[in-house]
A and B are shown apart, each in its own frame.
Chain A
């Protein structure tokens, strides 16, 4: 079940998405943490952030709209309080970081690289609920430069978490690859809103938020597939409405080398563990032994079937 994303090696392809798993300890009672392929705590920023006023979340059909606003206690608190706990978990821990500008990303990457116990950095250049995050992630020039600078500042593998709120995600993914990203996470949430027409107000205090959950799975799958087709050598971590092992298989064949379970955890705290348990049997159905043998094997309906393998017993030729 082991997978490789650039320089990052994981024991299996099942990770949990930043912002949906707290600081990991909150889920210790529900999921066998050290069995997961990787753990990504909630986004950290250079300074403490209070986040947005409430209501911060609202349920929508098969989905969740959120505008938490990167509520967190900052990198100092993360290093002092959360990292010691995270180091005790025997699996890959990937810190998710967000700065307001490139310099802040670089400074955070330098500090975290000096700390033992992290497997990689995931750059949140895609949060729709803060002023600067989205601005960075929609501009390929900035993404290329930002990823490049972080890559030079850190020895850790770099994952760029991309926003789907762009016309062509392959352009942004290509920029991340050119900057030296080991992988891209596809996708963060889709900008959306929920309306209370009687009050004539948006329901979220922040007016708009990011949509996640099963509602976005088809959108995320399409984007993973597009990026895999455009950039076959760029490892992808698929995210978007993944709840079951079947969902995970869809993302793997569409081009993701690994997946993140996100909103499903809110609705089913044991979801990631159950998915992991059920995944080997699904992989076995495709008669492959390694996950990498099925990644990106999805074929367009406009392409012919591959030549079926011979069913005859092999004959000795000489």
Chain B
């Protein structure tokens, strides 16, 4: 049985938390995901890694889903509690050969920012922008880690005049033709964003997607 200790569990906003667990002894690539389960629960769920591929631990940011059997139990975890990890899996990755000659645009909604945080924590030489769709102002998790490269799009901000979605933001900007676009989050957003960036001339081979659900 592959169980790992919880190192910390930190509340980021009302329903979102950062779970830090021991790192399995295996090769892990930025952008990959793990199946997380709890001993005795007999079900698991996939979560993308939030931390650097080189860190001594693994972070996940998780939204607590009402009635969600796994996320609610994970929310309640304390230091030294155990979780089961299966993985890592997935091909939502950055090809390192592309880093010197390309710009990167990361478009996420909510906790879909996890693989992008993992990318920017792992690869220090990325030329990137993060466009993050969130509902409330306080959901800009760890925005300081991206500096001026972070562009929040808040749908329900305190000042409602500033409300915008990632699709509104993308309509307004130019995208250079050497940009690789990564999109992660809910499927409707991915479909809409794909159409916008494709319409702005980004070739299908330069668009990568990962659906969260």
Query: Do A and B form a real pair?
Result: no
Q: Which residues of B contact A (CB under 8 A)?
A: none
Q: Which residues of A contact B (CB under 8 A)?
A: none
